[in-house]
Each structure stands twice: as C-alpha cells, then as structure tokens.
Structure 1
Amino acid sequence: MEYMITTKELTKKYKHFTAVNDISLHIRKGSIYGFLGPNGAGKSTTMKMLLGLTAPTNGKFSIDGKTFPNDRISILKEVGSFIESPSFYPNLTGRENLDIIRRILELPQSAVDESLELVGLTEFSNRLAKKYSLGMKQRLGLAGALLGKPPILILDEPTNGLDPSGIHEIRNLIKSLPAIYDCTVLISSHMLSEIELIADDIGILNHGRLLFEGSLDELRQTALEVGFATDNLEDMFLSMIGKDNKSRKQRAKL
C-alpha cells in the first residue's frame, strides 16, 4: 500500500503541556483522510507540523517520500493548505488576493480563474475581501489551497461558517478532488456527518494521542467489539472519546 503522508511518533510539547503525543499516521495516496477530535485534541498542531509552521519536539514525518526538515521546501511546493481562519488583505479583491499566491507559486493566470470557479466565487471575485461574508472567506481560503492543483491538500475546518447549501457544495467538491486531480486530502472537521460522507479513512485524536486509525468499516467493527453504538460516525466518535476521558480520570486518581 502506498502512503502519501506518514508520521512516526510525532510529538509536540509546549513547556509542561503536550499538544501532540507520539502519533503515527498512515494516509493513503489518493484517499480522503478524516482527522477528528475535540477542541484542543491536537489536530491543528499536527497539521501545522506537516506544513513546517511549527517544529516537532520528537518524531518525524514524510510527505510523498520527502522528509522534514531536509525537504521542507519541496514538501511545501506539493501541498495546498487551509489552516484555521484564512487571512487576506482586506483592501484587495478576492481575485487580487489569489493572484498574490499565484505569483509566489509561479502559476499561470488561468489558475486563479479555475480556483474561483471551483469554489463558486467567480461572480464575487472583484469584491473587496473585507466585504466578504465568513462563508465567502472560507471559500476564498479553499480557492487559495486549490491553486495549481496540488497533489496534497491539508484542510482544517474548510466548511466553517458556510450555510447548509454551501456545506453541501464544498463537501461534494472535496469528495471529487481525488478523482479530478489525483490528489490526497487530509481534512479535519467538527461536522462528523459530513466527514462520514466523504472520508475513506479516519483518524481519531484525543488529548494529543491517536485513539483509532482505519477505514469507517474498521471503526464500526472496533466499536461493535467493545459494545459501542455503530449507527453513525458521531455516536462512535463520542463513545470512543468518552471512554478515553473516563480512563484518564481513573488513572489520574491513582
């Protein structure tokens, strides 16, 4: 099996707090990998390490056969990213903001038009970014990640702030990307019902530790074996997180 992203015992510590604790991920090439966990579980920190925005305390990772930190620049050239709330130059239009990224990446002008069309922003491309709604800013951030059709996409809460119609559109877009662009997608979201509809594999993180990694079918089998509800991803997720939190409290009392 060919993996596009792997981590080995990846760890990030901040003084007395461990944000990411010894996790080993295996993200298959051409797959959509749903990265799940409560607030503060370490999802965003993991994504930032993969993008070189923060350095691991321990462990290592590779992306498309390239290792960090030796191949950091080569890795970044292959990755489109959307991390937390994207920031833009408010007094520039959506198109102008994307054009800055395009020039940095040395892409043709057509790349901007393609990305705007993909996320449904073509008719608003000449509006100032400061006049964009939250949902439109999310779309613009996704358009920036898609510039140049990168083989790897790292998306942190890409549907945040979108209305139900927008969520549906972006979900269908993300679901189609591996087939359209032959890309691999790592996506985090609190909308578990959406992840259930698009993800091939799931990773569940809690308090910086990886509780589960595998396909949805494997997650259902794991949940069934321990007596959890298996009706939907949200039930399985909450049961797994609840069990881990209970175990942590019991260990803390010892």
Structure 2
Amino acid sequence: MTDIIITQHLTKSYKNFKAVDDITLHIRKGSIYGFLGPNGAGKSTTMKMLLGLTAPTKGNFMIDNMTFPADRVNILKKIGSFIESPSFYPNLTGRENLDIIRRILELPASSVDEALDLVGLSEFGNRLAKKYSLGMKQRLGLASALIGEPPILILDEPTNGLDPSGIHEIRNLIKSLPKRYDCTILISSHMLSEIELIADDIGILNHGKLLYEGSLEDLRNSARKAGFEADNLEEMFLTMIDKDNALRKQRAKL
C-alpha cells in the first residue's frame, strides 16, 4: 500500500513555542489513520498545515505525489475536511449551506442530497442552521467534508457533541468509507475506544513530538515488550504520554 500523505520534518513554531516539532508522517492510501494526543499536542495544527490554513515554519509535505505550496489548489480539490467546530451561515438551511460548497466545487445538484443522506440529516435539510443542535451541526460539518466523495478526508474530532447512538452511527459510516469510495482518512479524536475500532494505523503526538507511528498491532507488541499495558489503546496511550512527560521533567531539571 503506497503512502498518499507524507510529511517531512514538519514544524510549526510561534515565537519560542513549537506547536508541531519535526514530525514525519506516512499515511497509507486507503487507510484510516488515527491521530491521537492530549489537548494542545499539535494535532489540529498539523491538520491545518495539510490544508494550507497555516504555513509550516520548517519542513514540507506531499499529498498524492503533489507538493505544497506549489500544488496547493490541486491538493485542496482532493480533500474534504472537518476542522474543529464547523461554522455555517445561521440564516440559511443546512441544504443551502451545503449548496454553497457544491457550487464552489462545481458538483452536481444531487451531491447535496447524497451528503445529507450519508450523515442522517435528510429530514432536517430544510431547517435553518441556527436551529440545529450541536450534534446536528457536527453532522452537517461532516456532510460538508463528504460532499462530492473526495479521495482524502481530514477529520478533526468529528463525533464531538453526538450522543452514543450518533457516535456509533458516524463511526460505522467513517469505517465504511475507504471501501465505499476508495478514500483515505486522517482522523483525530479524544475517544480512543472509537479510534481503536476503526483505525488501521496510529500516530501519537505529545507536546508537538511524534511518539509513535504504525499499526495498532505493532503498538501492542511494543507495549508488551516494554512491560506496559497492552489490552486497550487508551491504556497504551496514557502510559506512553505519562512516560514522555516524566522524561521531559527529568530533562528540564538537568
């Protein structure tokens, strides 16, 4: 399986603070890549760099053999994205909000109904966006990422605000997408149990540094060899983060 997204020494600094610190990622075509880390670890900043929303301080990346920034426009045509809390025109309906995106992307009119149906919003398409619940806004944001069936999806916390039933439904949808549409998904989430159920590969960030990248099974094997808890992703994640934080404290004292 070839890599469709590759970053090399990607770094984002703000004065003396490094939000993303020299990370190199390899995201395989057709895979679901779970991007994990505590709040402030650099996940959203990395995703924003891949979308051209903020410029790297150092390093570079390629998406589908295209380089940034030279091929920025062509890269963005291949990506559907959901970053943080999506914003919409409150006095337009969900359908009208999606239709704006459809027109920009020059997609057929039918793509709006298809996207609404995918995320379970068909019956609420004509409701004003300002009257949507938080969970419905999350679904509308996901619909805006899925419209036109892009080959790459970058999803930042897509199940925030959903009830358990909605989380289950969206998780199953995301899990099905690579086979249904031959797409690749980079997804971040604080719900590690959900990522464990859908991800092929895992990347773990802490303080902007990549602590681990590889398959979930390789992570389990590495945890066992190191004498760590390997029964579930959450325990492995917390152990890895705690160890890295302890090492940082030790280095700071030297």
Fold-level similarity (TM above 0.5): yes
Identify the residue that residue 244 of structure 1 maps to in structure 2: 244
Q: Distance in 2 between matches of 1:108 and 1:201?
A: 34
What is the CA deviation profile of residues 141-178 of structure 1, one whole-angstrom value per residue up to 9, with x for unaligned ones? 00000011000000000000000000000000000000
How many angstroms does 1:49 deviate by?
0.1
Total equivalences in the alignment:
254
1:76 aligns with 76
Does residue 1:232 correspond to 2:248, yes or no?
no
* 1:11-160 matches, cutoff 5 A: 11-160=11-160
Q: Show structure 2 runs of 5+ residues with no match.
A: none
For the pair 1:202 / 2:210, whether they are aligned, the reply is no
In the alignment, the residues of structure 2 paired with residue 134 and residue 202 of structure 1 have an alpha-carbon distance, to the nearest angstrom, of 28
Superposition RMSD on alpha carbons, in Å? 0.4
1:5 match: secondary structure: strand
Superposed displacement of residue 225, structure 1: 1.2
Letter in structure 1 aligned against 2:141? G
- Tell me the alpha carbon deviations over residues 54-108 of structure 1, each in whole angstroms, 9 at most, x when there is no partner: 0000000000000000000000000000000000000000000000000000000
| C-alpha separation in 2, matches of 1:222 and 1:5 | 24
- C-alpha distance in 2 between matches for 1:222 and 1:38: 21
Partner of 2:166: 166
> Would you identify which runs of 4 or more consecutive aligned residues in structure 1 move more than 3 Å?
none
C-alpha separation between the residues in 1 aligned to 2:5 and 2:177? 17
Is 1:187 the equivalent of 2:223? no
Partner Cα distance (2:222, 2:45) in 1: 27
Tell me which amino acid in the other structure corresponds to 1:47: M
Gaps spanning 5+ residues in structure 1: where?
A: none
CA distance in 2, matches of 1:113, 1:127: 14
- How many Å separate the matches in 1 of 2:138 and 2:19? 26
Q: Distance in 2 between matches of 1:65 and 1:139?
A: 31
Q: Deviations over 1:173-230 (max 9, x none)?
A: 0000000000000000000000000000000000000000000000001111111101
- Structure 2 counterpart of 1:40, one-letter code: G
Counterpart CA distance in 2 for 1:228 and 1:5 is 30
* TM-score, normalised via structure 1 length: 1.00
For 1:216 and 1:2, the matched residues in 2 are separated by 18
Q: CA–CA distance in 2 between the matches of 1:111 and 1:15?
A: 43
Q: Alignment partner of 1:236: what SS?
A: helix
Structure 2 counterpart of 1:244, one-letter code: D
Cα offsets for 1:22-58 (capped at 9, x unmatched): 0000000000000000000000000000000000000
Question: 2:8 is aligned with what amino acid?
Answer: K
Displacement of 1:247 = 0.2
Structure 2 CA distance, aligned partners of 1:87 and 1:202? 28
Counterpart Cα distance in 2 of 1:169 and 1:54:
32
Name the SS for the 1:148 alignment partner: coil
Give distance in 1, aligned partners of 2:253 and 2:225. 27
Residue type of the partner of 1:160?
A: N
Deviations 1:131-150 (A, max 9, x none): 00000000000000001100
| Corresponding letter in the other structure for 1:167 | I
TM-score (norm 2): 1.00
The 3-state SS of whatever aligns with 1:115 is: helix
